[in-house]
């Protein structure tokens, strides 16, 4: 009899204890609130390494803002897509660069003409006299580049140095020139001479132009 009472008491006590604990939990934190807390944690913090990697991948796919570290692609126009005015501007720039008074092409042509008209050079080299650039394996003179460079002196003035070759029926020579920009921003000869190699005649240096005051301001006589 005593054993039956003890067993019945334990069963009743366990049931009562579970009911009290469940009631206490329900009063302190409702089930709906628990669900909300869990959902919030899932949205604000990745619960696994794979989830964090997924967020990192999403951020890496976002494009950079304009003006950021990546340069924006600039579309290049074809010649056929240019307007008439744009083609005219480009053409004028090319012609000015190649045939302007300060261009290498113009300087070479002017210097060669002076060499051709020099009486002593005509006597030594002969006529007609041809001019070309650096020696080349190509037979075409147009492929022989004229050697030239622009340098600055201690005062910041520009000096043009050029070398080209002249040939005639009797001899050949190497022409050297130096020009300095004057007050009008035009090239002015400082010197132009031709070196004639030795052979039947001794080697010679013949000056066509020489002006040690080239590029300096001219003093007007009062």
Q: What is the DSSP letter of 81?
A: G
Q: 96-210: which CATH topology?
A: Nuclear Transport Factor 2; Chain: A, (3.10.450)
Does pLDDT of 171 surpass 90?
A: yes
Residue 171 token pair: 């001899």
Distance of CA 201 to the CA centre of its chain: 51
Q: Mean pLDDT highest for which of 90-99, 142-151, 196-205?
A: 196-205
Going along the chain, which residue ranges are E strands? 130-132, 147-152, 158-167, 172-181, 187-196, 204-210
With a threshold of 0.85, does the pTM exceed it?
no
Q: Is 206 exposed, middle or buried (0-12, 13-18, 19+ CB in 10 A)?
A: middle
Which pLDDT belongs to residue 122? 96
Which pLDDT belongs to residue 203? 93
In the chain, domain spans: 96-210
List pLDDT tens digits, range 80-128: 677 776 656 665 455 444 445 568 899 999 999 999 999 999 999 999 9
């Amino acid at each position: 009899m005593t054993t039956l009472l003890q067993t019945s008491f334990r069963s009743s006590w366990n049931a009562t204890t579970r009911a009290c604990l469940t009631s206490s939990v329900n009063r302190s934190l409702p089930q709906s609130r628990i669900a909300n807390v869990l959902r919030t944690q899932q949205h604000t913090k990745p619960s696994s390494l794979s989830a964090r990697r997924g967020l990192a991948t999403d951020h890496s796919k976002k494009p950079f803002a304009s003006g950021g570290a990546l340069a924006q692609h600039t579309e290049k126009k074809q010649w056929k897509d240019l307007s008439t005015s744009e083609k005219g501007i480009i053409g004028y720039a090319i012609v000015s660069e190649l045939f302007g008074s300060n261009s290498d092409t113009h300087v070479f042509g002017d210097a060669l003409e002076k060499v051709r008209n020099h009486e002593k050079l005509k006597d030594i080299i002969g006529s007609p006299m041809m001019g070309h650039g650096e020696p080349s394996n190509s037979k075409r003179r147009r492929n022989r580049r004229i050697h030239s460079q622009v340098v600055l002196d201690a005062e910041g003035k520009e000096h043009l140095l050029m070398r080209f070759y002249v040939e005639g029926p009797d001899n050949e020579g190497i022409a050297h020139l130096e020009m300095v920009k004057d007050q009008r921003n035009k090239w002015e000869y400082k010197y132009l001479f031709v070196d004639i190699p030795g052979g039947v005649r001794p080697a010679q240096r013949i000056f066509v132009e020489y002006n040690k005051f080239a590029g300096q301001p001219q003093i007007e006589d009062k």
